[in-house]
Structure 1
Amino acid sequence: MHFMSQHNADSSPGGLHYFSAGWKLIRLPGIRRFVIMPLLVNIILMGGAFIWLFQRLGHWIPELMEMVPGWLQWLSYLLWPLLVLSIILVFSYFFSTIANWIAAPFCGLLAEQLEGRLTGNPLPDSGWSGLVKDLPRILKREWQKLAYYLPRALGLLVLYFLPGFGQTVAPVLWFLFSAWMMAIQYCDYPFDNHKVSFRQMRSAMGQNKTMSMQFGALVSLFTMIPLLNLVIMPVAVCGATAMWVDRYRSELRLTSPSRAL
């Protein structure tokens, strides 16, 4: 395929490369129809959620600023944007997680179809019938991601209540954590279409941490931008699938291309 040969010419494409590729891949003939369902889920849920959020921000920010100790008031000009950024980060990841739960079967199908297109080797049991059969496994995988996410997110949330330190350091840590989780969320679809465990996937991504963090950071940023965040889900799935095809598929030397059980 043309896409693969272009990437192989580049010895070490990074996260930006694959994120950019996602915007092109969603427009491929034959792939566009698999983009529709993830796109609709994201538009309905994220669109409504962000309309509500921006209506509430004007009430929440003054209340949160009152929690800042007096000796830090002189930093209010810096803390205010950090608080806004933190709220949007937490909010965007929370609702994108819900959207991904709902759209997970369709995202897996999109990754499956795109991989077949890029490699020229369609996966067995691909298509809508395979989607219905694998629904319980797909939802179990989403639970695994949630179990990995929650304790770490709660730990970061506790930091927000530490005066001074929480308001300055926690937003940065949260952004880095969100970048990692976004990379995991979307790379998981092509990994999960093969017999790659959640633990093995994290290990493989950890060996390419810079690329994963670059990709996840871009997804996180675009998730916070109104209008663009409505289309980011299928873009991220396609970019992560391209990453899987180029960087992980051959490395893992999979013995079976079938879906995980």
Structure 2
Amino acid sequence: MATVQPTSYNGIHYFAQGWKLIRLPGIRRFVVIPLLINIILLGGAFTWLFYRLNEWIPRLMSHVPDWLQWLSYLLWPLTVLSIVLVFSYFFSTIANWVAAPFCGLLAEQLEGRLTGHPLPDSGWLALVKDIPRIMKREWQKLAWYLPRALGLLLLYFIPGFGQTVAPVLWFLFSAWMLAIQYCDYPFDNHKVSFQKMLGALRQHKTANMQFGALVSLFTMIPLLNLAIMPVAVCGATAMWVDRYRQQLAMPAVRSAEVKQVTSR
């Protein structure tokens, strides 16, 4: 597997960059559709959730064994956190499915802006032609995610231990999965295979976990979570350009860039 380009920037830097990059002239119009999808799906889901929590929490806490009642003061906030974590990731996944083609287009246009070298066959027409392949890639990510997520959810059924350990493990898993989810858009634009992308991301796992953890955290914060999808796409694209693009970009892209430089 090809080595990836080292960089001194960490995941926090790229997350902060995402908030700046969504405001770039010429990029803002590609932000609109992912932003609207996220507002409708994630905003509506969280509004419904906060109305239901008062009913769900007492019901869940009633299943705590009597010998663990003394831990209620700790288990109650962990239970709330667990619900919000699972709920936020579930609905952000749905939003990403719906918005996947538009997120890919946003990553494509931003990469062209950051590098000065637009991808070949970019634009809305190429997007429509590419939708079947994009959806196949989303299924591939889901197939990787589901067995691991189900294993973590089973921990919640272990009294005491599950309610204390599972939220921490779920947050870490969500951070890694969200890093994969958003970094995949620029990787997939260059037809980098899913397994090759995983290998590249693991080489900088700390930075990617930092990035994914911030995305996961902001996904749980009302109002801020409505803008998190395009922010994460832009941050992940900046990371791709800095860390991975030089070695993993499509040969056709590198060849076109070399020709453009030598013709000057």
TM-score by length of structure 1 reads 0.93
Paired AA for residue 204 in structure 2: N
Matched, 1:166 2:168: no
Partner of 2:80: 84
Q: For the Cα contact (< 8 Å) 2:14–2:235, is it kept in 1? A: yes
Work out which of the residue numbers 180, 184, 196 in structure 2 matches 1:200: 196
Offset from partner CA, 1:53-112 (integer Å, 9 cap, x none)? 001100111111111111211111111111101100000000000000000000000000
Offset from partner CA, 1:172-206 (integer Å, 9 cap, x none)? 00000000010000000000000200011011001
Partner of 1:233: 229
**Larger displacement relative to structure 2 (64-73 or 177-186):** 64-73
Offset from partner CA, 1:182-235 (integer Å, 9 cap, x none)? 000000000000020001101100110000100000000000000000000000
Work out which of the residue numbers 108, 111, 115 in structure 2 matches 1:115: 111
**1:115 deviation in Å?**
0.1
Partner of 1:3: none
Offset from partner CA, 1:129-172 (integer Å, 9 cap, x none)? 01001000000000001101100010001100011110110110
Paired AA for residue 252 in structure 1: L
CA distance in 1, matches of 2:224, 2:73: 28
Q: Number of aligned pairs?
A: 250
Partner of 2:205: 209
CA distance in 1, matches of 2:56, 2:201: 37
Alignment map for 1:38-49 (pairs within 5 Å): 38-49=34-45
Alignment map for 1:179-194 (pairs within 5 Å): 179-194=175-190
Paired AA for residue 170 in structure 1: A
Partner of 1:144: 140
Partner of 1:125: 121
* Structure 2 residues without counterparts, runs of 5 or longer: 255-264
Q: For the Cα contact (< 8 Å) 1:123–1:257, is it kept in 2? A: yes
Partner of 2:214: 218
**1:11 deviation in Å?**
4.7
Partner of 1:251, secondary structure, is helix
CA distance in 2, matches of 1:136, 1:125: 16
CA distance in 1, matches of 2:128, 2:33: 15
CA distance in 2, matches of 1:112, 1:202: 20
CA distance in 2, matches of 1:254, 1:128: 20
Q: For the Cα contact (< 8 Å) 2:190–2:249, is it kept in 1? A: no
CA distance in 1, matches of 2:55, 2:8: 46
Partner of 2:54: 58
Matched, 1:93 2:89: yes
Q: For the Cα contact (< 8 Å) 2:187–2:197, is it kept in 1? A: yes
Partner of 1:18: 14
CA distance in 1, matches of 2:68, 2:251: 58
Q: For the Cα contact (< 8 Å) 1:178–1:217, is it kept in 2? A: yes
CA distance in 2, matches of 1:253, 1:98: 28
Point out 4+ residue stretches in structure 1 off by more than 3 angstroms. Answer: none
RMSD: 1.4
Q: For the Cα contact (< 8 Å) 1:194–1:256, is it kept in 2? A: no
